[in-house]
Amino acid sequence: MAVETTAPAQAPALRLLRMTLNGRPVELEIAPRELLLPVLRDRLGMKGAKLSCDVQVCGACTVLLDGVPVSSCTTLAYEADGKSVETIEGLAHDGRLHPIQAAFIECGAFQCGFCTSGMILSTKALLAETARPTRDEIAAYLSGNICRCTGYWNIITAVEDAAGRLAGDGEEEGA
């Protein structure tokens, strides 16, 4: 898909950005100064990543770039060229929630939900790296994702629960 940008006079030439967004190839022209978060939200309709602190502190804008969590508010869209970008919209498949999403719901790990996309994507990166993290490891990894209403206890519990689901715990009682 190609979306036109109205660029002011003397602006540097637009560049072609080719990336994989939630598993599907996407092509669009971007200005060098465009940040990844507004490109995802305003040009590609992925509203799950939120703008909050705008300085890489809070984690509400977290997306995965080649599987690695980044603050899309302070990442140039240019950096996504040739890479895979994953947002919260890419997690559920065929109407079935991702196990991390299911765990967050079951454990009551969010209230307003503003931080949740970032929490879940950070969790996905953590569990890809460390399949069964301890509560301390979870707290350390998620220390850059700030929640101002639920409190972290249930979130950490949800990550533990998600780790169990991904490892196949309890499958024998299965659904």
For 94, residues 6+ apart whose C-beta sits below 8 A from its C-beta are none
Q: Is 54 in the site for another protein (CB under 8 A)?
A: yes
Task: Give the footprint of another protein on residues 80-119 (CB under 8 A).
Answer: none
Residues, the chain, total? 175
Structure-token match 């639920």, residue found = 150
Q: Closest distance between another protein and the C-beta of residue 94, in Å?
A: 30
Of 102 and 152, nearer to another protein (C-beta) is 152
Q: Sign of dihedral through CA atoms 17, 18, 20, 25?
A: positive
Q: Is 12 in the site for another protein (CB under 8 A)?
A: yes
Q: Closest distance between another protein and the C-beta of residue 57, in Å?
A: 5
Q: Is 69 in the site for another protein (CB under 8 A)?
A: yes
Q: Are strands 24-30 and 15-21 parallel, antiparallel or unpaired?
A: antiparallel
Q: Is 68 in the site for another protein (CB under 8 A)?
A: yes
Q: Is 29 in the site for another protein (CB under 8 A)?
A: no
Q: Is 62 in the site for another protein (CB under 8 A)?
A: yes
Spatial separation of the C-alpha atoms in residues 61 and 47, rounded to whole Å: 10
For 86, residues 6+ apart whose C-beta sits below 8 A from its C-beta are 22, 63, 64, 67, 121, 124
Region of 27-35, 83-91, 104-112, 155-163 interacting with another protein (CB under 8 A): 27-35
Report the residue from 8, 45, 95, 174 that binds another protein according to the rule CB under 8 A. Answer: 8
Q: Is 137 in the site for another protein (CB under 8 A)?
A: no
Residue 153, SS3 per DSSP: helix
Report angle CA 111, 132, 46 to the nearest 5 degrees.
45
Interface residue list for another protein (CB under 8 A) = 8, 10-13, 31-33, 35, 54-57, 59, 62, 68-71, 74-76, 78, 122, 125, 140-141, 143-145
